[in-house]
Amino acid sequence: ETGVTQTPRHLVMGMTNKKSLKCEQHLGHNAMYWYKQSAKKPLELMFVYSLEERVENNSVPSRFSPECPNSSHLFLHLHTLQPEDSALYLCASSQDWTSGAKNIQYFGAGTRLSVL
Amino acid sequence: GDSVTQMEGPVTLSEEAFLTINCTYTATGYPSLFWYVQYPGEGLQLLLKATKADDKGSNKGFEATYRKETTSFHLEKGSVQVSDSAVYFCALISGNTPLVFGKGTRLSVIA
Q: What is the pLDDT of residues A15-42, one digit of tens each?
A: 888 999 999 999 999 999 999 999 878 8
Segment A66-97, tens digit of pLDDT? 999 999 999 999 999 999 999 999 999 999 87
CB contact under 8 Å between A42 and B103, yes or no, is: yes
State the pLDDT at residue A39.
82
Q: Which residue of B has its CA nearest to A44?
A: B101
3 state SS for chain B = CCEEEECCCCEEEECCCCEEECEEEECCCCCEEEEEEECCCCCEEEEEEECCCCCEEEECCEEEECECCCCECCEEECCCCHHHCEEEEEEEECCCCCCEECCCEEEEEEC
Segment B95-105, tens digit of pLDDT? 777 788 999 99
Please, which residues bridge with residue B35 across strands? Answer: B48, B90
Residues of B in contact with A103 (CB under 8 A): 32, 93, 98-99
Residues of B in contact with A92 (CB under 8 A): 43-44
Gap between the Cα atoms of B20 and B30, Å rounded = 24
Residues of B in contact with A25 (CB under 8 A): none
B5 and B24 Cβ atoms separated by less than 8 Å: yes
Say if residue A12's pLDDT is above 90.
yes
Tell me how many degrees the CA angle B9-B15-B20 measures, rounded to the nearest 5: 40
State the pLDDT at residue A99.
61
Name which of A56, A106, A110 is nearest B98 (Cβ-Cβ): A56
Q: What is the mean pLDDT of residues A47-61?
A: 86
Under the banding of pLDDT at 50, 70 and 90, the label for residue A100 is low
State the pLDDT at residue B95.
75
Of A20-34, A43-57, B86-100, which one has max mean pLDDT? A20-34
